Every structure is written in structure tokens, then in C-alpha cells.
Amino acid sequence: MKRTIAFTVNGKPVEIEVEPAGLLLDVVQEQLGLLGARRGCETGYCGACTVLVDRQAVRSCLFLAARIAGRQLTTIEGLATEGELDRVQSAFVEHGALECGYCIPGMILLAESFLAQNPHPTDDEIRRALASNLCRCTGYVKMVEAVRAASLVR
Amino acid sequence: MTAEYRDPEQLTEVLDILREFGDDAKLIAGGQSLMVMRRQGLISPSVWLDLNRVAGLAGITAMDGGVRLGAMTTIRTIERDQTIRAMCPALAQAAAAVGPLQVRNMGTIGGSVAHNAPGADCPPALLALDASAMVVGAAGARSFALADLFTGYFETALRPDEVLTEFMLPALSAGARAGYLKFATRAVDMALVGIAVVLEQEGDAIRNVRIAIGGAAPVPFRARDAEAHLLGAKWTEAALREAGRLAACAASPVSDVHASADYRRWLVRTLVPRALASVSTGTPAGRES
């Protein structure tokens, strides 16, 4: 049975009907039309589908759609303000921290969540956090540099 | 067939739904393991019963003689909580060692225990800390020593109408140290073997020791023979080595795609002395982030 739920998407309130036992990833891609959350392994292994729920990184392939009711959903599309990339996005661009790009929305949202709780991380902590997601181009070194640089932006 | 979804706000409603649907209902906490199993077609309940909106199931409270830990407390909260870090460092280290950040953000301590996957990091820590678990069901509440809750591979003593609500962690005695050491191939994998240790020394004598091991048997277990060998003994490398050997004898690991049973047994033998040594010197054994 479908259920109507209200929540915010990148700051804007929405009210939509969802299949409650469906997955947030399907809602984000198919109902909200936000394709930055990537469909990767769908078994919680790769992190490509990462979104933020109440500012915390979440794997949308492991999150029941109905749980988003009343919460704040942030996707990669919601990070820039009036066309200005935020500090993590800018750092990824400046450091060339991307190859094919498929994992990047997930990586950036992961870094956002990590830096929000740990604003002055060590390199070791950055590596451990980024290990949460897979980059099959293996472009991790520049990502670590980018997250370190973002952490130093005031 | 589409599954039903319920997300009640009161524990009494949870119990009502469990009474009505029994085994056809599946409780979901963080969902980080269950959603994978669903995707793989291993489970398909007719009702998903979401505990996330139920009042009073999450939280950490320091009390006289210990810590009360709500079953819906997330792994990330446990990892970062000052009370847990101060009073139950082995559990904080185990929580920090749990896979990806996203899993720690959503995953819960109650879910981890009720799921009882070999290689989960927190259950051995709870076992070493002598935790007890409170379970509420149609017939009332029951309290379990943690060891009695784990009955088999992915199985617990929880009945279909019961919910795990909280843990009680007795305070460590003054002078006791505790830690958790994990071995996994990649940082975000489940433990091939995880060792939780509580240790009390007086000079070079061992006054009290508890060793709990995950990943090396169908359920997390206490290495009783190793503990008995160390209790009252002098702190020597030979004693630690013998404890590792005895712990490995008590292990009954399985072979799977991640490691052979023999390799896991060798890990126990190697890591038990290493975990004891790192706890003894106060070096955090687990991972931090």
C-alpha cells in the first residue's frame, strides 16, 4: 500500500507517494529525478548511492523509502549554492580528484558527512573514511588530498 | 507480492504487531545487513516492522555501577560517545572498527547483536564487558547474559514475538583496561577474527582477564581455557603464547570465501597475545576515525 510522506529535498519541502518498503535510491532516481546518486552494487558494498539524511551519509540502496519521512535529504545536486560549488566539490575539482567520475557524488557526500563530525582529521582518518566507498579507477590519492584541502578551508 | 511496512511509535504496538504476524514480520533497526539479505533474496517477510520511530529505545546513560545502552543506539554514536569511550573503551574501539561510515551511521548495537553475524565487531566487545541484554515480549521481559543470547550461526534465543530493548554494561573495576583488536582484509570488511579483552594486572601478575572472540566460531565466545591459564599467572610472553594456543583450540571457525578455517584459527592464536599486549600497554587496539 502506498503512503504519502513529507520531507525536504535539498532544502525544498516535498510531499510524494512512495512504496514504503521500497528503497530510497529508487525514490531519489525515479520519483525525484535526481541521478547523482548512482546505482552501483545495490548491496551496500560500493557506496556510489550515498546521500545525506539529516547531514549523515547513508547508503540509499539500504534505506527504506518510508524512513525519509520528516527528514532532510541532501543529494549531490543540493551542495552548490547559486551555482557556486561548495568547499569539498571545489577541492575535488582543484585536485583533479576524479577519473571516470562514477563514484564521485558518493565520495563527496561521504566526505561532507565525515568532515561535519571530524573537521580537523588526520590523513589516516581521511583514508579510513574514504575506504567506505569504492573507486574502481583507484583514484584515491588525489581524493585524500582533496579532502585534506577541504578540511583546511575556513 | 509487496511487503507491508509498519513504523509504530510505541513498544506496545510493536509487540501487538509481532503477536499478530509472528515469523512473517521482520524487525528492522539500521537495516544495514537485512537490506542486503533482502536484495539477495534470502529474506522476504510479509511485514517490515521498523523500530526507528519507537520511543525510548536509543540512548546511553551512565548509571550507578555501569552504563545503560539502548538497543537502537547507532554504532557511530557509540564510537563517539564520551561515556562509552571512558567506561567501555573496548566497545568504543569495536564500534569504530565496524565497516563503512554509512553503516556506522545507520547500524545499531541491538541490530548487530540480534543479527548475530560472525565477524560482527561489537558482540565480542559486549561479551568481554560482561553485558546483559533486556528482551521484551508478549510474555513479559527477560534478561540474558549475553553469552546465552547467542545460540548459533545467525541465530539467537530471541523468540519471534520478542524485541531486544537494551544492554546493561557493568562498570569495569578500577585498574582494569579493555580493548578490541580486529583483523580484516580491507578496512571496511567484517572481521575475519575480532578479539575483545578486559585485563586487570597487579605488578606482573594477572588478577582478572576476560577474552571474547568473534568470527572464529558460529557465535562469539569467551576463551575460558585461555583465561584460566592466565588468571593469577605471571605476565610472560610464554603465558600469552599459551593463551593464544588455548584460544585457538577453543575456536571452531568455518571456511568461506574470505578465509579458511585453518587461517582463522591461526589468526586467533596470533591475535590473542597481541590483543592482550596492546591492552596491557594501553595502546588502543582497534581503529579510530
- CB atoms under 10 Å from CB of A10, counted, come to 17
Residue by residue, what is the 3-state secondary structure of B110-166?
HHHHHHCCCCCCHHHHHHHCCCEEEEEECCEEEEEEHHHHEEECCEECCCCCCEEEE
Please give the grid coordinates belonging to residue A35: 541521478
Contact criterion met (CB below 8 Å) for B75 and B96: no
* Residues B101/A113, Cβ–Cβ less than 8 Å: yes
- Which of A47, A78, A109 corresponds to the end of one domain? A78
Contact B33, B98 (CB under 8 A): no
Residues A98 and A117 in one domain: yes
> In terms of domains, do A100 and A133 share one?
yes
B178-280 topology per CATH: Enolase-like; domain 1 (3.30.390)
Q: CA separation (Å) from B165 to A74, B14, B127, B131, B168?
A: 31, 12, 17, 13, 10
Burial of B160 (0-12, 13-18, 19+ CB in 10 A): middle
State the cell numbers at A4: 504519502
Question: What number is the average pLDDT over the span A54-66?
Answer: 97
pLDDT for the residue numbered B289? 33
Mean pLDDT of the region A113-140? 95
Structural domain spans, chain B: 4-50, 60-169, 178-280
- A109 and A70 belong to one structural domain: no
A60 part of contact set with chain B, CB < 8 Å? no
Tell me, yes or no, whether A123 and A67 share the same domain.
Answer: no
Q: How far apart are the first and last CA of chain A?
A: 48
- A123-143: average pLDDT: 95
**Does A109 lie in the same domain as A67?**
no
Answer whether B102 sits within 8 Å of A20, measured CB to CB.
Answer: no
Q: Does A16 share its domain with A74? A: yes
pLDDT at A119 over 50: yes
> How confident is the model at residue A38, as a pLDDT?
97
Rounded Cα distance, B282 and A128, in Å: 22
Domain boundary among A57, A78, A99: A78
Is the CB of B105 less than 8 angstroms away from the CB of A132?
no
Question: A12 is written with which cell numbers?
Answer: 525544498
Among A59, A78, A97, the domain boundary falls at: A78
| A69 and A129 share one domain | no
Would you say the ipTM is above 0.85? yes
Number of structural domains (chain A) is 2
- Going through chain A in order, the beta strands assigned E by DSSP cover 3-9, 12-18, 50-53, 56-59, 72-74
Question: Do A71 and A27 fall within a single domain?
Answer: yes
Tell me if A25 sits within 8 A of A62, measured CB to CB: no
Question: Do residue A123 and residue A142 come from a single domain?
Answer: yes
CB contact under 8 A, A57 and B101: yes
CATH number assigned to the domain comprising residue A37: 3.10.20.30
Query: Which range of residues forms the domain containing residue A65?
Result: 3-78
Q: Which residues of chain B have pLDDT under 70?
A: 1, 284-289
Q: Do A64 and B28 touch (CB under 8 A)?
A: yes
Residues A95 and A72 reside in one and the same domain? no
User: Which of B3, B39, B289 lies at the smallest CB-CB distance from A129?
Assistant: B289
What pLDDT does B279 receive? Answer: 95
CA of A95 vs chain B CAs: smallest distance (Å): 23
CB contact under 8 A, B187 and A131: yes
- A117 Cβ neighbours under 8 A, 6+ residues apart: B80
Is B60-169 a domain of CATH 3.40.50.2000?
no
A71 to chain B, any CB pair closer than 8 A? The answer is: no
C-alpha torsion B95→B99→B104→B109, nearest 10? -50
List CB contacts of B273: < 8 A, sequence separation 6 or more: B237, B240, B241, B243, B244
Strand partners, A9: A12, A73
Determine, for residues A131 and B100 on separate chains, whether the beta-carbon distance falls below 8 Å: yes
Angle at A22 between CA A19 and CA A28, to 5 degrees: 95
Residue A31 in grid coordinates: 520519483
- Which of B31, B48, B289 comes nearest A62 by C-beta? B31
| Beta bridge partner(s), residue B140 | B137
Q: What is the pLDDT of residue B187?
A: 84
Query: Which secondary structure element, helix H or strand E, spans residue B226, and what is its range?
Result: helix B224-230
B248 Cβ contact partners less than 8 Å away, ≥ 6 residues apart = B265, B266, B268, B269, B272
- The tens digit of pLDDT for each residue in B185-244 reads 988 899 999 999 999 999 989 999 999 999 999 999 999 999 999 999 999 999 999 999
d(CA B147, CA B104): 24
Q: Are residues A74 and A9 in the same domain?
A: yes
What is the three-class DSSP state of A12? strand
Chain B residues with beta carbon closer than 8 angstroms to that of A50? 102
Number of other CB atoms surrounding residue B16 within 10 Å: 15
Residues 10-29, chain A, touching B (beta carbon < 8 A):
19-21, 23
CB within 8 A of A67, min separation 6: which ones?
A: A24, A53, B7, B50, B52
Rounded CA-CA distance A60/A65 in Å is: 9
Choose which CATH entry (3.30.43.10, 2.60.120.10, 3.20.20.60, 3.10.20.440) describes domain B4-50.
Answer: 3.30.43.10
On the CB side of A111, CA atoms within 13 Å amount to: 30
For residue A140, count CB atoms less than 10 angstroms from its CB and return exposed for 0-12, middle for 13-18, buried for 19 or more. middle
Whether the Cβ atoms of residue A76 and residue A92 lie closer than 8 Å to each other: no
Using an 8 Å CB-CB cutoff, list chain B residues near A59: 32, 100, 102-103, 106
- Residue in chain B nearest A58 by alpha carbon: B102
Q: Nearest residue on chain B to A3, judged by CA atoms?
A: B5
Distance in angstroms (rounded) separating the CA atoms of residues B166 and B120? 18
pLDDT at B80: 95
> A114 vs B28: CB contact, 8 Å cut-off?
no
